[in-house]
């Protein structure tokens, strides 16, 4: 399994994602970024090692939507899957983010039940 990149400005949310992944026996190295700008820097150095991104929408510096706008400018990253994990759960928001990034592999609304995130992650891992 390739590495997972968690992008969230909340320490609590990053820790929660890590706990959910461990409890679901997802055995992989997890990288963390506190905003989209930091995540882009990580991707520029380690994109070949990353298979999945789990990102928040609302973050300072570079939010999830703006991160995805930058992400799609790099065709060499097209093999990396992404799950949006956010409290923005409206159908309007979901449609908006899919316009930016049509290949979004999942959209998990916070607060989520651990099984919901695990199902989304395992579906991606099984497809790899």
pLDDT of 1 reads: 64
| φ, ψ (nearest 5 deg) of residue 73 | -75, -5
Q: Which domains does the chain have, with CATH numbers?
A: 3-127 (3.40.50.2300)
Work out the average pLDDT over 24-40: 95
Q: How confident is the model at residue 20 (pLDDT cuts 50, 70, 90)?
A: very high
CA-CA distance, 11 to 58, in Å (whole number)? 14
Beta pairing partners, 32: 6
- C-beta separation of 53 from 82 below 8 A: yes
The stretch 31-50 carries a mean pLDDT of 97
Q: What is the mean pLDDT of the chain?
A: 94
Alpha carbon 63 to chain centroid distance? 12
Contact 110, 55 (CB under 8 A): no
């Amino acid at each position: 399994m390739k590495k997972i990149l968690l992008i969230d400005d909340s320490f609590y949310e990053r820790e929660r994602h890590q706990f959910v992944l461990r409890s679901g026996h997802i055995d992989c190295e997890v990288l963390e970024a506190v905003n989209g700008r930091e995540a882009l820097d990580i991707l520029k150095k380690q994109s070949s090692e990353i298979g999945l991104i789990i990102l928040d929408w609302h973050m300072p510096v570079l939010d999830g939507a703006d991160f995805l706008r930058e992400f799609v400018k790099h065709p060499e990253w097209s093999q990396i899957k992404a799950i949006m994990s956010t409290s923005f759960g409206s159908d309007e928001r979901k449609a908006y983010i899919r316009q930016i990034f049509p290949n979004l592999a999942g959209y998990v609304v916070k607060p989520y039940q651990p099984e919901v995130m695990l199902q989304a992650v395992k579906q991606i891992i099984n497809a790899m």
